[in-house]
Amino acid sequence: MTRQHWDIFCTVIDNYGDIGVTWRLARRLAHDCGQEVRLWVDDLASFARIAPGLDAELPQQTLADIDIRRWPQSGFPADIVPADLVVEAFGCRLPDSFEQAMAAKSSKPVWINLEYLSAENWTRGCHKLPSPHPRLPLAKHFFFPGFDAASGGLICEDGLIGAREAWQADAEAQRDYWRRRNVPALAENEWKVSLFSYENPAAAKLLQAWADGPQPVRCLVPEGKALTIVSGLFDHPLQVGEHAQLGRLTVDVLPMSDQDDYDRLLWSCDFNCVRGEDSLVRSQWAARPMLWHIYPQDDEAHLAKLLAFLDQYCQGLPDEAAAAVRELNLAWNRDGDMATAWRNCARWLPAWRRHAANWQQQLLQGGDLAQRLLQFVAEFSEIR
């Protein structure tokens, strides 16, 4: 594989999704694909929360063989020579001086706008389309991550599926993991759930349903926005490291972890509640049933995106199971009747688990996002 230079730009807008996806892509390109990556990030303090070893005070540093630079809000360095390939993650606006430097190169960089993940039909028509610059002799191409072969795919590192399968077969490794995370020993029949969401009032209803249900449930809650809602079930704000009991439900509050440790949390649970884009993708590789809290938008515009995902995700499930999974996801994102939706879904959990394992295998047909990016770059280079 030809070694090429990449510039990847990311602005941290909210939470950790944008930088989470961008950091995974940078590592995938550098480690698995033999590429040279320079990563520009405007908020190193947020970045450092998911990348231990990163010094938020250093404007330039190397971590995991990636050249990391602080993206200054003004006065972008004039001596920076653009790389062979330039990726602006999620439509972040490149500095004018950098665009001019791109245009000044005799061999123009391949310029890619890495879009947000979507299963909506319209993205297929826009995937890989060029957008000419209004003033400069440049064009950027839209690249849409997605769940089928017609899309840009999802990030999946070499060896990830094998590592997950080995982990899920290793009970001792999982026990060590829980001890390291300060989670008390789990009962033999205790059902393990991770809960990572935005401030979702439906979370309180779901946890109450578990508390009132017949099955002992251990809910692992990483510190974050969901903790405020979860704390409402108890008589005080929950803190990192705390354990709380309500009926058949036990809640353990976990500190924020790096990306690899979060993957292990997803792998170790029977069911995962995830949010945004990065954790949604990682839950697919966990091969477990999952519930997606999509980022809320005005006028419920996000629900079209949710339904498009469910249309693809539920293919292969029995009709009744698919209807129950849809009902649960819609109730979760609309603050609906979670107790009823959960009861309707619970009896389908064995079939859902089998489906989750088959689904993650389907996602990799045609390669992951990095492989499809490299294929697009190779095809584009041949025809220009």
User: Catalytic site residues?
Assistant: 18, 277
Structure tokens at 315: 């293919």
Strand ranges inside the chain, DSSP E: 5-10, 36-41, 60-63, 66-70, 85-89, 110-114, 130-132, 139-143, 191-195, 217-222, 243-246, 249-254, 271-275, 290-293
170 vs 367: CA distance, rounded Å: 28
Return the closest-CA partner of residue 325 out of 342, 302, 350: 342
What is d(CA 191, CA 248) in angstroms, rounded to the nearest whole number? 10
6 closest CA partner among 74, 66, 90, 93: 66
DSSP string, 54-105: --TT-SEEEETTEEEEE--SS---TTPPP-SEEEEETTPPPPHHHHHHHHHS
The DSSP symbol for 188 reads T
Residue burial 22-54, b: 16+ Cβ < 10 Å; e: rest: bbbbbbbbbebbebebbbbbbbbebbbbbbeeb
* Residue recorded with tokens 């950091």: 23
C-alpha radius of gyration, the chain, whole number: 22
